[in-house]
Structure 1
């Protein structure tokens, strides 16, 4: 629910008949609203100082691909701009609600994004201009002083997960930091069963979430290499235990000191697959973290 420049108000999550609905409430409307919990800051008319303006800029390398306005929200992380471009928000996964997880439907990113309809945005990209389907994977910044980074707003509100991509990963560190704060403060879906770090020691729980993007954590019990692939195991259950496979750049980072990871808490993020048991395949080093304290260190 990015704050929208030109409107003075508050983004809130309201409880209506037991459901949590993200809405933008005007300053006057907020005075009338009841049972509302506000998850983002009050918008003020005064312009921020230069020091404040730089506070929301991502610490990553992106190039501008022009400006337009958001014409249509077509999905939880896809939009059409007024100039006709289809945009997929890069480096995040804004998953649809997963009602099978404890009955929680979670917060809907599509509804969240509709708060920015008609607003002018700058398009910034870190990879190819368009993919083979004609879609631009990009970061969007809602015009304002300072501009508001849509991806960071979604992740900070607990509506999306940070997700590095092969040619879009320069902003991952900033998004992962925002995700950690949202998780610690149980914002958005982190306050439900929709977003959670899954224990590698419970493979059946992970297996129930095949074809969804998840974060799984556990102590690495073993490392094995087969050709160019490295396998991390997290239990003695060879039949159904959770496994993480490292391929490509992720495998290269592990190849030198893979055994050093044994006995350490490892966090893997990616798409859950079902082979012999549940697994995640990591192709990027950013998908694998060795956890130290509350937050982990990406493989270096």
Structure 2
């Protein structure tokens, strides 16, 4: 439902019910609700309107991040990583539906897949944002457009606040102080929260250490080439010492778990009172 049509429906209802003084308060309430709804939809939709990369009908769900159109094209949904519920959610949302594609580049990857944001019919809200808002996907932080990335993160944050989908499980966010739990998910995409105990430079890599035992504790690694990007975003790596952060990425390591950070969006600074933050 588009923001404009949503607001129009509310205003029509207001007009029909505002014929007596006793309905004035309710009329104002309807108008306020319409404005809030329109603002929420626009916030999710507007920032991610990239160049059109064609249309098609979804013929099949290939996997939790890829679909096949009826013309044979395989589309990879950019901007998200899958959870256990993503594939089923995609099946419910997309099979047999007409979709449009938007991205900054339609060049296929080495597997022949075209990466894009996907929109159902005339919707202004991407499928990615829908999945995130339901708690059925995680933001991958691979979208480089700042406004679009923020909109996707906002959709995920709201689902997390409401404990929707995968966020209903307390283990959806891993505790940086429990490295064995994180290491058990090696090779998976995870979201981890914790306090950075130290920031150390070793050669061309900066380490954010979350444990006293650097060998076995959880750590985030950031290559030197990423430092200018963090500084441009107003975040110096040394300033992260003693700060609580949320980091997302693929778990690597052998004795101790690691996440390699290759995009600024993989790290979020946390406030002390944010829901879900562990003490």
The TM-score normalised by the length of structure 1 is 0.71
- Asked if 1:110 is matched to 2:87, the reply is yes
Equivalent residue number for residue 206 of structure 1? 182
- Asked if 1:279 is matched to 2:258, the reply is yes
Equivalent residue number for residue 250 of structure 1? 226
Equivalent residue number for residue 142 of structure 1? 120
Match of 1:152 among 129, 140, 161: 129
Number of equivalences: 235
Work out the CA distance in 2 between the residues paired with 1:50 and 1:233: 43
Equivalent residue number for residue 29 of structure 2? none
Distance 1:169 1:214, change over 3 A: farther
- Asked if 1:262 is matched to 2:245, the reply is no
Report the 3-state secondary structure (helix = DSSP H, G, I; strand = E; otherwise coil) of the residue aligned with 1:190. helix
- Asked if 1:80 is matched to 2:60, the reply is no
CA contact (8 A) 1:86 1:134 kept: yes
Equivalent residue number for residue 19 of structure 1? none
> How far apart are 1:294 and its partner, in Å?
2.2
Q: Residue deviations 1:17-39, cap 9 Å, x none?
A: xxxxxxxxxxxxxxxxxxxxxxx
Match of 2:162 among 163, 180, 185: 185
> How far apart are 1:88 and its partner, in Å?
0.7
Distance 1:245 1:129, change over 3 A: same
Work out the CA distance in 2 between the residues paired with 1:285 and 1:79: 28
The TM-score normalised by the length of structure 2 is 0.76
Equivalent residue number for residue 24 of structure 2? none
Report the 3-state secondary structure (helix = DSSP H, G, I; strand = E; otherwise coil) of the residue aligned with 1:59. helix
Q: Residue deviations 1:200-226, cap 9 Å, x none?
A: 111111111111111111111111112
> How far apart are 1:57 and its partner, in Å?
1.6
> For the aligned residues, what is the CA RMSD?
2.6
Q: Residue deviations 1:241-287, cap 9 Å, x none?
A: 00000126533345783222111112111001123301100011111
Equivalent residue number for residue 163 of structure 1? 140
- Identify unmatched segments of 5+ residues in structure 1: 3-48, 98-107, 296-300
CA contact (8 A) 1:229 1:251 kept: no
Report the 3-state secondary structure (helix = DSSP H, G, I; strand = E; otherwise coil) of the residue aligned with 2:154. helix
> How far apart are 1:151 and its partner, in Å?
0.4
Equivalent residue number for residue 203 of structure 2? 227
CA contact (8 A) 1:249 1:283 kept: no
- Identify unmatched segments of 5+ residues in structure 2: 2-36
> How far apart are 1:170 and its partner, in Å?
5.8
Work out the CA distance in 1 between the residues paired with 2:199 and 2:43: 41
